[in-house]
C-alpha cells in the first residue's frame, strides 16, 4: 500500500511539473518545444507553426523595442562625438539591420532573389530608375557584383536592345522565327 502511494505521488508530481512548465512557456511566449528542448508531439506536429509564431514575436520585439532603443543610444553617442548638426547629417545614412531569424531554404531564397532582380530590371526598362540606381540596389542586396560602369553593365558596347534577352521581352531568343528552319540554319 505504501509503495503504490509513492508511485501515485511521483506520477502526479511529474504531471504537475509538466503543467507548470507549460504555464511558464505560455507566459513567456516561447513554444513548449523550444522551451523544453523537445520535439513537437502529436499527429501532424512539425513545430513549424510554433517556431514561426515565436520568430515573428521576436521580430516584433526587435522592431518595436530594441531598434528604437539602439537608435536613441547611437544618437546620444553620435551627438557627443560629432556634434548635433554633423550627426544629423551622418545619421541619415545609418541603417540598423538585423539578420532574419527565420531562414529561407535555397529554393525559397533563389525565388526571392529572382523576383527582386526581375522587379528592378522591370523598373529600369520602364525608365522608372536609372541604370546606376538599378545596379546600386542589386549590389546593396548582394545580388550583383561588377567593376563596370552602370551603362556598360546594362548595355554592352555594340549590343542593341533587340539583342537583349530575346529582344527585350524577358525570354531568351533561341533563333526561333516564322521562317523555314532550313533558312535559319543556312543564314
* Phi, psi for 30 (deg, rounded to 5): -110, 130
Could you identify the residue written with the cell 504555464? Answer: 23
Q: Of 77, 105, 108, 104, nearest to 90 (Cα)?
A: 77
Give per-residue pLDDT as tens, 133-146: 888 888 887 777 66
Q: Of 46, 54, 96, nearest to 75 (Cα)?
A: 96
Cα–Cα dist 137/14, whole Å: 56
Lowest mean pLDDT of 9-13, 40-44, 53-57, 63-67, name the range. 40-44
Q: What number of other Cβ atoms are within 10 A of residue 120's Cβ?
A: 21
Q: Higher pLDDT residue, 101 or 170?
A: 101
Burial class (CB in 10 A: 0-12, 13-18, 19+), 97: exposed
Reported as a pLDDT band with limits 50, 70 and 90, residue 187 is very low
Residues 6+ apart with CB under 8 A from 74: 91, 94
Given this model, what pLDDT does residue 171 score? 46
* Under 8 Å between Cβ of 136 and 125: no
pTM of the model: 0.43
Can you tell me the mean pLDDT for 49-71? Answer: 84
Percent share of the chain, pLDDT over 90:
17
Cell representation of residue 157: 558596347
Cα–Cα dist 120/123, whole Å: 5
Q: Higher pLDDT residue, 23 or 74?
A: 74
Cα–Cα dist 47/40, whole Å: 5
User: Would the pLDDT of 78 be above 90?
Assistant: yes
Given this model, what pLDDT does residue 165 score? 47
Task: Give me the residue spans of the domains in the chain.
Answer: 16-39+49-101, 104-159
Cell representation of residue 48: 513549424
Amino acid at each position: 500500500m505504501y509503495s503504490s502511494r509513492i508511485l501515485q505521488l511521483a506520477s502526479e508530481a511529474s504531471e504537475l511539473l509538466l503543467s507548470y512548465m507549460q504555464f511558464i512557456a505560455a507566459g513567456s511566449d516561447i513554444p513548449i518545444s523550444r522551451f523544453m528542448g523537445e520535439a513537437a508531439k502529436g499527429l501532424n506536429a512539425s513545430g513549424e507553426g510554433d517556431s514561426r509564431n515565436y520568430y515573428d514575436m521576436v521580430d516584433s520585439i526587435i522592431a518595436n523595442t530594441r531598434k528604437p532603443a539602439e537608435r536613441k543610444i547611437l544618437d546620444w553617442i553620435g551627438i557627443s562625438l560629432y556634434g548635433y548638426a554633423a550627426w544629423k547629417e551622418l545619421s541619415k545614412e545609418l541603417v540598423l539591420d538585423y539578420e532574419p531569424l527565420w531562414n529561407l531554404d535555397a529554393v525559397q531564397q533563389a525565388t526571392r532573389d529572382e523576383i527582386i532582380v526581375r522587379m528592378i530590371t522591370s523598373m529600369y526598362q520602364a525608365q522608372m530608375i536609372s541604370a546606376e540606381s538599378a545596379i546600386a540596389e542589386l549590389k546593396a542586396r548582394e545580388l550583383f557584383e561588377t567593376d563596370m560602369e552602370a551603362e556598360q553593365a546594362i548595355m554592352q558596347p555594340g549590343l542593341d536592345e533587340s539583342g537583349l534577352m530575346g529582344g527585350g521581352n524577358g525570354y531568351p531568343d533561341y533563333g526561333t522565327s516564322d521562317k523555314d528552319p532550313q533558312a535559319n540554319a543556312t543564314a
